[in-house]
Amino acid sequence: MLVPKAIEEIDYDSLKNDIVEHLKEIRDIDIVFLESDTFSLIVEAFIYREMLLRARINDALRASYIWTATSSDLDAIAALYGVSRLEDEEDDRLRERCILSLYAQSTAGSKKSYIFWTKSVSNNIKEVEILNPTAGVVEVVYHSDNDYTTEISNICSGDDVIPLCDTVIVTKATIVNANIELAIEILSDFNIIDIRNAIKESFGNLSLGIGADLPLSKIYDTAHVEGVYKVTTNAIDVIANEREVIQPNIIFI
């Protein structure tokens, strides 16, 4: 994440040292702090208020910067891009669409422009890839649990989205269920049921996008969760084409 330099790290000891040095300069005396004296309490209170003020300034800066703003603050920034949050849309996805919206201002038909318009159809669209199967043809491939082919076709075929010479076709990515058989040996003090659940969760967390392969090395790596001693499988590399999404289905043997 890009964080502006204006957002500073607040350090208690540094603030205290600065205040002490300043007091020494204006009073020309050597100050010794005692926890019980009134002077120390006043300085401590001042440092506390200074830290609160600087924290508030940091929060205000974060709220005004797209990479650090969240919630309604991010909504306000998105409005400057002409983008509104979709239902149940998370902050990271909204930020991405804000940046993509800059490319949507052009009618030159850039890939990022098509991605912006497609992702703006629904928050349920997980991923978009743009292909050029032949000259003058743009293929929008999207990954979603739901079918938005008609909606995407309508929005991406508008005169303010595509060049006059482009023909847009929309394809819903095909889910390829890859059955992967695993035999596992576990270390002592681990439960086989817990290990199997952890392996399934590990594969479920894989980010396999459109056209992404699942090589054998990744299968072994993903299966080696904590507590696994050895993994054996007869699986091979699972290869996806540019319109497919691999979905691993783990079978323990």
Element (DSSP H or E) covering residue 244: strand 244-252
Strand partners, 251: 181
Which pLDDT does position 167 carry in this prediction?
87
Which pLDDT does position 107 carry in this prediction?
58
Residue at 5 is within a domain = no
Which pLDDT does position 150 carry in this prediction?
95
Residue at 190 is within a domain = yes
Which pLDDT does position 43 carry in this prediction?
82
Concatenate the DSSP letters of all residues of 112-173 into one string: HHHHHHHHTT-TTEEEEEEE-SSTTEEEEEEEESS--HHHHHHHHTSTTTS-TT-EEEEEEP
- Domain boundary at 126, 156, 172, which? 172
For residues 58 and 42, membership in a common domain is answered with yes
Which pLDDT does position 17 carry in this prediction?
85
User: Based on the number of CB atoms within 10 Å of its own CB, is 116 exposed (0-12), middle (13-18) or buried (19 or more)?
Assistant: buried
For residues 145 and 223, membership in a common domain is answered with no
| Alpha-carbon dihedral sign for residues 202, 203, 205, 207 | positive
For residues 186 and 155, membership in a common domain is answered with no
Which pLDDT does position 208 carry in this prediction?
94
- Rg, the chain, Cα only: 28
How is residue 67 written in tokens?
Answer: 């990479």
d(C-alpha 119, C-alpha 94), whole Å: 10
Residue at 154 is within a domain = yes
For residues 43 and 119, membership in a common domain is answered with no
Strand partners, 231: 184
Along the 253 residues of the chain, how does pLDDT read in single tens digits?
A: 677 788 888 988 888 888 878 877 777 666 666 666 777 788 888 889 999 999 999 999 999 999 999 999 999 999 999 999 999 999 999 999 999 998 887 655 578 889 999 999 999 999 999 999 898 899 999 999 999 999 999 988 776 666 656 789 999 999 999 999 999 999 988 999 999 999 999 999 998 999 999 999 999 999 999 999 999 999 999 999 999 999 999 999 9
3-state secondary structure (DSSP) of residue 48 = helix
Q: Are 233 and 183 in contact (CB under 8 A)?
A: yes
Which pLDDT does position 41 carry in this prediction?
81
- Domains: count for the chain: 3
Residue at 6 is within a domain = no
- Domain boundary at 39, 63, 87, which? 63
- Domain boundary at 114, 143, 172, which? 172
For residues 79 and 164, membership in a common domain is answered with yes
Q: Give the predicted TM-score (pTM) of the model.
A: 0.75
Please give the residue range of the domain that contains residue 247.
Answer: 175-252
